[in-house]
A = this chain, B = another copy of it.
Amino acid sequence: MPTVSSEELAAAAGVNSAKLRKDFSYLGSYGTRGVGYDVEYLVYQISRELGLTQDWPVVIVGIGNLGAALANYGGFASRGFRVAALIDADPAMAGKPVAGIPVQHTDDLERIIQDNGVSIGVIATPAGAAQQVCDRLVAAGVTSILNFAPTVLNVPEGVDVRKVDLSIELQILAFHEQRKAGEEAAADGALPAAGSAAARKASADQGPDGAAPAVMPA
């Protein structure tokens, strides 16, 4: 399949073809009228715009179950991410290989960041250690942090933080589940105006969308 139309792509993605065309148009005019988009060229352009063509060295701090799971996660390499180092505070972990990469001790954090030119850090420590690790990462030059610890991190201006809270995803499922169950059947007495107004679209797609609750500022 050398070429693909906006109609086909839209159907595959479950969106309107006009939206897809308009979105693509913000990246430039990469389609051919009457023909469609050249698949290879389009993939390249989107990859480049998203930063997939670059090499992003990342460090993972906190090699517990979650840290180990992340280190083993196959999806990173194909998206340009390279696990440059694994860091843990437990001296007993030092030197032990996880996913083929030897764990290093927290003492060397600053050196590791600088030696590898790391600008993206992943925090998978317990909540109590997260802010301190974050401060050290930032001081060492990291400007983007993916935080799995259940804490809101304080960072200076210019540093990006994304917090992943695994229970929020479950929360969203449970919310819809509750709604399925209560469909018309048992009208809960103590809820005056909740009926129609809150009954928004229950999106049928997989993955995070606008349904996420309000979040904390940086």
CB of B210 within 8 A of CB of A177, answer no
Asked if residues B161 and A193 are in contact (CB atoms below 8 Å), the reply is no
A56 to chain B: closest residue by CB: B174
What residues on B are CB-neighbors of A214 within 8 Å? 13-15, 20
Given A120-B174, A198-B27, answer yes or no on A207-B163 (Cβ-Cβ < 8 Å).
Answer: yes
Given contacts A56-B177, A167-B75, A171-B79, contact A14 B216 (CB under 8 A): yes
A206 B75 Cβ-Cβ under 8 A:
no
- List the number of copies, as a whole number: 2
The answer to whether B206 and A161 touch across the interface, beta carbons within 8 angstroms, is: yes
CA distance A145 to B206 in the complex (A): 10
Indicate if A3 sits at the interface (CB-CB under 8 A). no
Task: Assess whether B177 is in contact with A144, with CB atoms less than 8 Å apart.
Answer: yes
CB pair B58–A198 under 8 Å, yes or no, is: no
- Residues of B close to A192: CB separation below 8 A: 28-29
0 or 1 for each of A33-58: is its CB under 8 Å from B? (1 = yes): 00000000000000011111010101
* A100 within 8 A of partner (CB): no
Which residues does chain B contribute within 8 Å of A29, judged by CB atoms? 192-193
Given contacts A28-B194, A152-B206, A177-B144, contact A162 B166 (CB under 8 A): no
> Top 10 A-B pairs ranked by shortest CB distance?
A14-B217, A65-B69, A66-B69, A75-B167, A163-B206, A144-B173, A51-B178, A208-B208, A207-B215, A65-B68
